[in-house]
Amino acid sequence: MHVVLITDPATCSSKFSITSSTLSYTVDEPIHIKVNSTISDTKFIGIHLLAQDEKHLNVGSWKTTDELTESNICDGVAYYSEVGKTNIDAVWQASPRVVGNVRIKAIIIENEKTIYINCYDITLTPRVQNNSSFIDENDSTSNTPSTITTNTTTQPATTITTTSRSQNTTITASPTSEVAVNVTWTFTSGINVTNVLMTIKNLKPSQWAAIGLNINRSMGGTHVFMCKRYADDTIVINRYVNPNKHEEPEPAGSEDGGVFTPGKQEFNEGIVICRFSLSNFTSQISGQLQEVKPLSQSNKYYPIFAVGLLDEYHDPIRHAKDSRTTQSDFVQLNEKETILYKIPNVAVDLTFARAHGIIMIFTWILIVSTGVLISRYFKNAWLHTLICGKAAWFAAHRFLMSIATILTVLGFLFIFVFRQGLWIDLGLTRAFAHSITGVIMIGLAFFQPFIALFRCEPDSRYRFIFNFIHTFIGFSSLILSNATLFLATYFPIFKDNRGRIILIIWLGWIVLIFTIFQIIQSYYRKKNNESGYTNINSSNTTIADLVENSMTPKTTSIRLTNEQETSFEEKLKNVLLAIHILVAAILSIMLTTLIL
């Protein structure tokens, strides 16, 4: 693929612009920097904002007002995603060491083929201060930086000071509070090897960052993988276990589950990279009770992150309170995973994904289930009501299923646009399973109306073949839709497990309502047979099928048989159908509110 790097300002495009809240700066003054698209619907998929002094050195510090955009990446603000943005807003602050003019520069990636490097920038000039200490002489409050000291290491801490007329509050963060960790691993089936990559930002000398795996949220009983940066920038990866009732981790061996093999460790441009693999997992048989259960590739674990300092012997010191967290989603070593700690997810517009979810929820929970119930249990109950010369059950079923097919295709188009035509990565993941069950369900739903279009006449000897195929595809689609929806409840868009709870309630309801309808229909059929009624003929054709047939004369008088519903049965089914529609609508609304 040919990539165009546009570096000559004379050839730059006017598609984008960069602005600032002021054209001059003072130390610690927040200056808002904005990059916008000047042409409607023009987006960029990546951007890097930098502040450089007259010596072309990166200066100052950055913060982003977009919580999903990464700040202080390569001394700037960085954003990259397959889904484009039309604007970005960031805040730059000058440090006391900044002197002279400062150039704010934006490197913009419009698409995979076009990158603008020297096209968009603004220059900030320094403002003269009357006081070299940058403290207002009329302000009676002064701020004193603080440090955190251990018996071996002294590192400056981040101090946030809030001053008002009545009080001055200082919050001191630990020296490890800004460390961010990205952990990814892949699983190779066949040889059952898990390869792990830890990428750590802002890890200073004599500090460690670790990921732990535990079947519960506590530190006791945790398997710990710790990446250390020594004072001389040597990078080491160690494995530990954190036994119950022990605050300090202990070295782990193969008896703790799997063989731990360190890979290549790196320290490159301020980024710490640790690699290791886990393999040769075997069943552990021990004669004594183990405090920590052996690690398993098939078990589900909570990921636990912690960051702390190292002592003079390179042993870890207990982490600070603001440098530990337990994440809420389970992970497994035999699945592809990406886990982030203090790294925001890439900004993504979820509008199309939400539209896809809402359409599929209402279509397959409310519309399709109602259409199936009407087709299966209301053929004779609504026999005498005609719509455009067709039995009411047939007209209602055809209308609902046609709407369902159109909405299903529309929902697929929404997710196709959201993914920009890209398929989910192959692997043993819920997202991939969702894509497979979903595309099968959509395919069946799409072809079902065409199969019905070419069906035999109701009195044809081959009609039973169509009935079987149509019923099989319909129920297969309904079952697959529930499986697909259940897999979707594990996606981050649902945020918690309430979606799974609602869907479990729905599955219980759909089984219950079909069972009730089947019992009612079987009871009355048996009762009618016992009363001496006989079939209309020896074929499988019902009265309702004859009414469906457009060739049947409208004036034909049909004698009631055992297929005729009693008035009480008809009313009972109508009440149950109304209850079902109400329940399905309520559950659909509850599910959709979770993704909005």
The CATH number of the domain holding residue 8 is 2.60.40.4060
Question: 203 and 272 in contact (C-beta within 8 Å)?
Answer: yes
Q: What is the predicted pLDDT for the residue at 138? A: 35
End-of-domain residue from the set 321, 341, 361: 341
Q: In the 8-state DSSP scheme, what is residue 564?
A: S
Least confident piece of the model among 38-47, 61-70, 464-473, 587-596: 61-70
Angstrom distance (rounded) from CA 10 to CA 6? 9
Angstrom distance (rounded) from CA 379 to CA 548? 10
Assess if residue 223 is contained within a domain: yes
| % of the chain residues with pLDDT over 70 | 77
On whether both 365 and 336 belong to a single domain, the answer is no
Q: Note down the domain range covering 245.
A: 180-341
- Mean pLDDT calculated for residue range 84-108: 83
Q: What is the predicted pLDDT for the residue at 506? A: 96
The CATH number linked to 253 is 2.60.40.1210
On whether both 194 and 332 belong to a single domain, the answer is yes
On whether both 589 and 446 belong to a single domain, the answer is yes
Assess if residue 383 is contained within a domain: yes
The reply to whether the predicted model has a pTM over 0.85 is no
- Mean pLDDT calculated for residue range 228-239: 92
Burial of 554 (0-12, 13-18, 19+ CB in 10 A): exposed
On whether both 369 and 292 belong to a single domain, the answer is no
Question: 191 and 171 in contact (C-beta within 8 Å)?
Answer: no
On whether both 446 and 319 belong to a single domain, the answer is no
Please determine, for residue 45, whether its predicted confidence score (pLDDT) is greater than 70: yes
- Rounded to 5 degrees, what are φ and ψ at 430? -65, -35
End-of-domain residue from the set 274, 308, 341: 341
Q: In the 8-state DSSP scheme, what is residue 400?
A: H
On whether both 388 and 319 belong to a single domain, the answer is no
Assess if residue 155 is contained within a domain: no
Q: What is the predicted pLDDT for the residue at 1? A: 53
Assess if residue 226 is contained within a domain: yes
Q: What is the predicted pLDDT for the residue at 560? A: 45
Assess if residue 379 is contained within a domain: yes
Give pLDDT tens digits for 507-520: 999 999 999 999 98
- Mean pLDDT calculated for residue range 152-158: 41
Q: What is the predicted pLDDT for the residue at 169? A: 40
Please determine, for residue 77, whether its predicted confidence score (pLDDT) is greater than 60: yes
The count of structural domains within the chain is: 3
End-of-domain residue from the set 303, 323, 341: 341
Please determine, for residue 593, whether its predicted confidence score (pLDDT) is greater than 80: yes
On whether both 304 and 451 belong to a single domain, the answer is no
Please determine, for residue 143, whether its predicted confidence score (pLDDT) is greater than 80: no
Burial of 251 (0-12, 13-18, 19+ CB in 10 A): exposed
Q: How far is CA 48 from CA 71, 203, 429, in A?
A: 10, 22, 32
On whether both 461 and 383 belong to a single domain, the answer is yes
Tokens 């993988």, located at residue: 225
Least confident piece of the model among 23-32, 366-375, 479-488: 23-32
On whether both 196 and 259 belong to a single domain, the answer is yes
- Decide the pairing of beta strands 147-149 and 154-156: antiparallel
Residues with Cβ < 8 Å from 430, sequence gap 6 or more?
A: 487, 490, 491
- Decide the pairing of beta strands 114-126 and 24-25: parallel
On whether both 302 and 393 belong to a single domain, the answer is no
Tokens 């040769």, located at residue: 280
Please determine, for residue 25, whether its predicted confidence score (pLDDT) is greater than 50: yes
Least confident piece of the model among 137-146, 278-287, 367-376, 434-443: 137-146
Assess if residue 139 is contained within a domain: no
On whether both 376 and 468 belong to a single domain, the answer is yes
On whether both 302 and 420 belong to a single domain, the answer is no
Give pLDDT tens digits for 275-311: 999 998 876 554 444 667 888 888 889 899 889 888 8
Q: What is the predicted pLDDT for the residue at 236? A: 93
- Mean pLDDT calculated for residue range 459-476: 87
Tokens 């479990």, located at residue: 504
Question: 340 and 181 in contact (C-beta within 8 Å)?
Answer: yes
Q: How far is CA 410 from CA 359, 407, 422, 487, in A?
A: 8, 5, 17, 20
Please determine, for residue 102, whether its predicted confidence score (pLDDT) is greater than 70: yes
Angstrom distance (rounded) from CA 56 to CA 330? 45
The CATH number linked to 577 is 1.20.120
Assess if residue 145 is contained within a domain: no
Assess if residue 260 is contained within a domain: yes
